[in-house]
């Protein structure tokens, strides 16, 4: 397999170089699409179906790396860039030269190159912001999904997904699929589990009872959050709870011989624990965000620079475990669907100002109680949440 695709690189890099250089076309972006929702389900399959799906993933992974190599070579040697449409137009020639790519649906191969193009567009956007991060070649483990669009798949009896040249996946339907299916993504997790995601549009929006109440939220590490009503949500610290087990499994993995079956088994155990931690965290964040979206019309949160905060070597693990960024993103997405509003406010002084009189009361991180000369005595985080609410109601900063 490796020899075949070494030859493929040489042929594409030399024999088809003129085709890849001169087929240029402008990439016109389509109009902005409506908001869609994604429904993800656990999938089970026969070993023959799994073998075929893994073969598709391997071919998609190879095409992704070839497309990236092509862009690098053209720019490095000829100072020429190549558009997405030019690469798409070369797929028929690639299939004629190497028939194994005909096993994969044409729209799946197109999505691979579209995915690569999106990666470059994100890179160019980062460059405008003064950031780096050039697209990297993907290993087999990092390329774990393929996407089908209008054809090549069919739902059978609502709980079976049949894919041409692959086989059938049995879906565990935890909830019905709503709306019109636009794309189907099949993903293999590092634990060996298979998942199928349906991206749908025209999904009926969830509607909650009308509410005129506003709330301010202050996130933290001692407590996950404290709101302006004085409600406290404890920080579950899922990663910290599993650190001992994780350390033992990682130590066991480090002792295994590279390439051995025992190392693969130990690696899967580590992946399963990480997956469990991520699932626990997402379940917790979904429940908390749902409760606030259901009860409040406007939710004020602090505009935290989490990327900078996480560089603190003493608090980085705790901040990552709390996942404030994921929580804020869930709030934003759910609010947009439910007709609620999530607004960011500048966090300057929310912890130091008195929520009752506005006087500045300097405090260190170890001071957990706010005590003001006006007689206001509150929990530090509750005082901050009240300030977030007050500032948000007067100086709103739209959620970006």
Q: Hey, which residues are catalytic here?
A: 218, 302, 381
Longest CA span, the chain = 81
SS3 125: helix
Strand extents, DSSP E, 118-258: 145-148, 153-156, 160-163, 167-172, 180-188, 194-201, 214-219, 223-227, 232-234
Q: How far apart are CA 351 and CA 215, in angstroms?
A: 17
Q: Which residue from 225, 176, 157 is spatially nearest to 37, judged by alpha carbons?
A: 176
Taking CA atoms, 101 is separated from 12, 59, 64, 106, 107, in Å, by: 14, 7, 13, 9, 12
Q: Which residue from 298, 291, 289 is spatially nearest to 391, judged by alpha carbons?
A: 298
- Residues paired with 194 in a beta bridge: 43, 188
Taking CA atoms, 195 is separated from 45, 83, 324, 349, in Å, by: 11, 32, 26, 45
- Residues paired with 225 in a beta bridge: 219, 233
SS3 98: coil
Angle of CA points 180, 279, 181, to nearest 5°: 5
CA 190 and chain centroid, separation: 16
Number of other CB atoms surrounding residue 18 within 10 Å: 9
CA 391 and chain centroid, separation: 31
Number of other CB atoms surrounding residue 360 within 10 Å: 10
CA 298 and chain centroid, separation: 25
Measured on CA atoms in the order 298, 299, 303, 308, is the torsion positive or negative? Answer: negative
Q: How far apart are CA 217 and CA 229, in angstroms?
A: 9
Measured on CA atoms in the order 125, 128, 133, 138, is the torsion positive or negative? Answer: positive
**Contact status, residue 225 vs residue 288, Cβ threshold 8 Å:** yes
Residue recorded with tokens 């994921």? 326
């Amino acid at each position: 397999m490796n020899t075949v695709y070494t030859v493929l690189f040489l042929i594409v890099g030399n024999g088809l170089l003129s085709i890849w250089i001169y087929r240029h076309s402008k990439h016109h972006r389509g109009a902005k699409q409506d908001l869609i929702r994604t429904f993800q389900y656990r999938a089970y399959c026969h070993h023959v179906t799994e073998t075929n799906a893994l073969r598709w993933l391997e071919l998609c992974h190879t095409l992704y790396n070839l497309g990236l190599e092509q862009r690098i070579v053209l720019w490095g040697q000829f100072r020429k860039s190549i558009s997405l449409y030019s690469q798409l137009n070369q797929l028929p020639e690639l299939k004629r030269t190497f028939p194994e790519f005909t096993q994969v649906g044409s729209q799946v191969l197109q999505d691979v190159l579209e995915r690569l193009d999106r990666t470059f567009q994100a890179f160019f956007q980062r460059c405008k912001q003064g950031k780096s991060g050039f697209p990297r070649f993907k290993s087999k483990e990092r390329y774990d999904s393929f996407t089908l669009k209008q054809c090549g798949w069919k739902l059978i009896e609502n709980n079976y997904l049949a894919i041409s040249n692959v086989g059938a996946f049995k879906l565990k339907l935890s909830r019905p699929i709503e709306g019109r299916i636009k794309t189907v993504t099949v993903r293999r997790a590092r634990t060996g589990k298979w998942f199928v995601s349906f991206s749908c549009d025209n999904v009926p929006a969830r509607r909650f009872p009308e509410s005129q109440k506003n709330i301010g939220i202050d996130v933290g590490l001692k407590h996950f959050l404290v709101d302006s009503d004085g409600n406290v949500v404890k920080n579950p610290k899922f990663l910290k709870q599993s650190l001992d087990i994780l350390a033992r499994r990682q130590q066991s993995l480090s002792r295994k011989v590279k390439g051995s079956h025992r190392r693969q088994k130990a690696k899967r155990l580590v992946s399963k624990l990480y997956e469990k931690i991520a699932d626990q965290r997402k379940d917790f964040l979904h429940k908390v965000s749902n409760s606030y979206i259901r009860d409040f019309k406007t939710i004020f949160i602090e505009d935290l620079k989490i990327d900078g905060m996480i560089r603190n070597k003493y608090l980085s693990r705790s901040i990552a475990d709390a996942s404030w960024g994921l929580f804020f993103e869930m709030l934003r997405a759910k609010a947009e669907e439910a007709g609620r509003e999530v607004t960011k406010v500048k966090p300057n002084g929310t912890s130091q100002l008195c929520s009752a009189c506005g006087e500045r009361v300097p405090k260190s991180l170890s001071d957990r109680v706010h005590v003001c000369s006006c007689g206001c005595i509150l929990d530090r985080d509750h005082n901050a949440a009240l300030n977030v609410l007050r500032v948000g109601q007067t100086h709103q900063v739209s959620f970006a």
